Structure 1
Amino acid sequence: MAGTFRVDRVVTSGTFSLDGGTWEVDNNVWLLGDDDEVLVVDAAHAAQPIVAAVAGRTVVAVVCTHGHDDHVTVAPELGRTLDAPVLLNPADDVLWEMTHPGVAHAALTDGQRITVGGTEVHALHTPGHSPGSTCLHVPEAGLLFTGDTLFQGGPGATGRSYSDFGTIIGSIRDRLFALPVETAVHTGHGDGTTIGTEAPHLEEWVRANG
């Protein structure tokens, strides 16, 4: 019988680099599961604190919400150490190759369902911040893990290569804001929010970008 579903957060620190710039960032790494099984969401900066938080549980997969280097830094290392597949939407392979050239990963596809600790996690392809950006929805628990697609106060950044503002707005409007308003949003950086808190501001974000 599956145990109680829970979410653990590990915050790791390092850098994000793209288009010739480098920035200091703190990343949220999310662990979804129970006492026996866990799904790791994002593989940021350092493997050791993530492995420590896994605490010997069986790792179903290491899921990367997108291919930016701060979210996949230690993905291959975690996959080997934890004996787990690394999943990333193939539309982000161009970004993955910048960090892990020639290293294979498994495909994360829109609509894919991953069961961990007896609870289903649904993959929602939400391009815009990057071509393959994918959010993870846990309907049974009312949770959404958005990577860098949606934050407290607005959409993820779209000012760098392989990103597009109109695309991210469409993804948020059509895929994320279609979810129940009480859905708790856990983001790739910083504090969380809810769908109901962010949804009323969509048109403001569009006007501000115009």
Structure 2
Amino acid sequence: MVGDDRDVVIVDPVDDPVAIIRAIGERQVTAVICTQGHRDQISAAMEVGLGWCAPVLLHPANHSLWEEVHGRRAYWRLDDGQRIAIAGENLRVLHTPSVTPGSVALYIARCGVLFVGGTLSAISSDVWTEFGELPADTRICPGHGDPFLLREAITRLDRAVEISA
């Protein structure tokens, strides 16, 4: 969740719906964002979105995956470079095709945080290169596992390239 004591954006609500509901509390859910198009993610996102009367946001490259689950039910588009305002911050959408064609990451420049959702394990070197334009001390928050600094990931990628060369 990203937000303040009044408004919150939910990112990838797939794990524990009861915990999510408790964490939301009395806040207004302004959007539910899917960082990828897997069935469990888009199903849970729609459930949360409907429950809180909030729009579900998805990259259009995942449209066919969405249709398999929800048919013609509407979602709001996420586009590369788009900015989503929440609690005085801007989430910048970075299209990171990996796990699904419409996978995205969400970057908050002022906080130096990049939410990559479940896409981390499949991110290609091209995507890491794009992330290389972000400050090296950007904190990467994966959907699973502990956060780490971007410089650590780039260092590991550089080592892997050296070994395979």
TM-score of the superposed pair, with normalisation by structure 1: 0.72
Query: Over aligned residues, Cα RMSD in angstroms?
Result: 2.0
Give ranges in structure 2 of 5+ residues lacking alignment.
none
**Could you say what secondary structure the match of 1:128 adopts?**
coil
Cα deviation 1:124-176 (Å, max 9, x = unaligned)? 111122210100000011111011233xxxxx23xxxxxxx7xx2211212x1
Question: Which structure shows the bigger proportion of residues in helix conformation?
Answer: 2
Tell me the secondary structure at the aligned position of residue 5 of structure 2. coil
Offset, 1:205: 4.0
SS of corresponding position for 2:57: strand
Is 2:98 the partner of 1:106? Answer: no
Is the 8 Å Cα contact of residues 36 and 119 (structure 2) preserved in structure 1?
Answer: no
C-alpha distance 205-129 of structure 1, shift in aligned 2 (>3 A): farther
1:44 aligns with 2:14: yes
Tell me which residue corresponds to 2:144: 189
CA distance in 2, matches of 1:37, 1:145: 18
Residue 95 of structure 1 and its aligned partner are, at CA, apart by: 2.2
C-alpha distance in structure 1 between counterparts of 2:153 and 2:134, whole Å? 12
- CA distance in 2 between counterparts of 1:183 and 1:45 reads 25
Contact kept? 1:33, 1:116, Cα under 8 Å: yes
| SS at 2:110 equivalent | helix
Structure 2 Cα separation of the partners of residues 46 and 60 of structure 1? 19
Change (3 A) 1:121 1:62: same
The residue aligned with 2:125 is 169
Which has more strand, going by share of residues? 1
> Structure 2: how far apart are the matches of 1:185 and 1:82?
28
Distance of aligned partners of 1:191 and 1:40 in 2 relative to their CA distance in 1, 3 Å threshold: same
Which consecutive unaligned segments of at least 5 residues does structure 1 have? 1-30, 151-155, 158-164
Judged with a 3 Å threshold, the aligned counterparts in structure 2 of structure 1 residues 209 and 55 are, in CA distance, closer, same or farther, namely farther
Instruction: Count how many residue pairs are aligned between Structure 1 and Structure 2.
Output: 165
Matching residue of 2:113: 143
Distance in structure 2 (CA, Å) of the matches to 1:209 and 1:69: 34
User: Is residue 61–residue 84 contact of structure 1 (8 Å, CA) maintained in 2?
Assistant: yes
Give the share of equivalent positions with the same residue, in percent: 38
Structure 1's 204 and 95: CA in aligned 2 closer, same or farther, altered over 3 A? farther
